[in-house]
Amino acid sequence: MISKSLNDTKKIAQYFVENLVPLPDQATVVELIGDLGAGKTTFTQALAQYLNVSETVVSPTFVIQKRYKIFNHPHFETIIHIDAYRLENPDEILGLKWKKDIENPQNLILIEWPSKIKTHIPNSHQIYFTFVDENTREIII
């Protein structure tokens, strides 16, 4: 899919959520794969807005993880947004309640830079982001 605007990205995020089938026995994990500036955080913001998150979603680059309460969704209660870019060892994710979070089927976990913690990611969905130009991104679900 091609996004040429924030509105396009919102439509793509909505499409993704509407077609996402939650896992019954673990969190639903989504790997957001792409270079810096490719649109991963913007997509997360659009997805959170569609899921009625009332807080402002910001990149968790320096805190590694942010949690957002989802209101009125039949499957998910919490978005856990992880930016693993600054992690030097995959096991560092374990100190952030990873095992508990991954066991909860009401969690929707979005991971930027998932390759940094790949050994700890169970079954997941992948979304690929490519910077085309200043206003255009390719998003492959």
How far apart (Å, rounded) are the C-alpha atoms in residues 115 and 26? Answer: 20
Written as six digits, the tokens of 13 are 């995020």
Q: Cα–Cα distances in Å, from 38 out to 23, 64, 112, 128, 140?
A: 27, 18, 11, 9, 12
DSSP SS3 for 72: coil
Q: Long-range CB contacts (< 8 A, 24+ apart) of 51-56?
A: 51/17, 51/76, 51/79, 51/108, 53/79
- CATH code: domain 2-140 is 3.40.50.300
- Confidence category of residue 140, pLDDT binned at 50, 70, 90: very high
pLDDT digits (tens, 9 = 90+) for 108-139: 999 999 999 999 998 889 999 999 998 999 99
Contact indicator for 43, 127 with CB cutoff of 8 Å: yes
User: Could you count the other beta carbons within 10 Å of the beta carbon of residue 32?
Assistant: 25
Check residue 103 and give its pLDDT. 94
First to last CA, the chain: 8
Half-sphere exposure of residue 88, counting CA atoms within 13 Å on the CB side?
Answer: 0
Check residue 59 and give its pLDDT. 80
Query: Residue 138: which region, alpha, beta or left (left: phi > 0; alpha: psi -120 to 50)?
Result: beta
In the chain, the amino acid numbered 135 is N
Check residue 29 and give its pLDDT. 95
pLDDT digits (tens, 9 = 90+) for 16-64: 999 998 888 999 999 999 988 888 999 999 999 999 898 888 887 778 8
pLDDT digits (tens, 9 = 90+) for 81-95: 999 998 999 999 988
pLDDT digits (tens, 9 = 90+) for 56-69: 888 877 788 999 99
